[in-house]
Amino acid sequence: MRTLLELHARGLQLRFVGKCLHALPERVARDEDRSARRRGGSRLNFLVPRRLPWLLLISVAVFVVDRLTKIWVAKHILLGGAIPVVPNVLRITHWTNDGAAFSLFADSASPHAVRWGLVTFTLIAAAAVLFALVRLGNRFSVASVALALILAGAIGNVHDRIAYGSVVDFIEVHILNYHWPDFNVADSAVVSGACLLLLDSLRNRETQQETAQNAGDVRSSKEEAGSL
């Protein structure tokens, strides 16, 4: 009788162990799935920095302003016409530009090649700017805002080149006897962003020089104290 009970108990133990072994792969799979979700979440947080949506919102806002102003000019001002804003200083005009910003390459003998060359270059540049913006997107800074402006300007003009073959320029500025080439909001955004990047670079260089100078002063003070 005791032998039968022992055999029965061992059978129950074996069945219990079998059930545990059978459930083990499912448990491991669930654990791996949770780990994968956690890893995926951390990658998502890395790819979408906290401030990036707000920086992209700046780009979208500038792009929308650029599009609305171009549409308004095309509807309300005849090609070649102008509306004076500040006499002898500022006028709202209506011109189409087949070249780059500020009418560069507009008189090229191969406008088709210029158009698609500019489109290709601008798309590559916009991708590079977007990549840099993602890397700097964890905080607002002069550099990140500058990149957002450049991205908006690049997309604004490349949209016109792809859709219409040319860009609408409408801001005409006269400084004394100098006539600045007509431009638009997208051009202004690109130039403003580039100037901000330059100023930020100069400021960082000055900060690095001051830091190096302070470190040198501290080192000299320590050496003098040690010699005493």
151 within 8 A of 64, measured Cβ to Cβ: no
Sign of CA dihedral 82, 174, 98, 151: negative
Active-site residue (options: 33, 169, 182, 200): 169
- Catalytic residue status for 217: no
C-alpha–C-alpha distance, residues 166 and 100, integer Å: 9
| Exposed / middle / buried, residue 67 (Cβ in 10 Å: 0-12, 13-18, 19+) | middle
Q: Write down the residue that tokens 């909001």 correspond to.
A: 185
160 tagged catalytic: no
Closest Cα partner for 63 from 193, 179, 151, 172?
151
Catalytic residue among 182, 187, 200, 217: 187
- Please answer whether residues 80 and 94 qualify as being in contact, where contact means their C-beta atoms are separated by less than 8 angstroms: yes
Please give the sequence-ordered ranges of beta strands (E in DSSP) within the chain, or none if there are none.
82-86, 90-97, 167-175, 178-183
Question: Could you give the residue numbers annotated as active site?
Answer: 169, 187
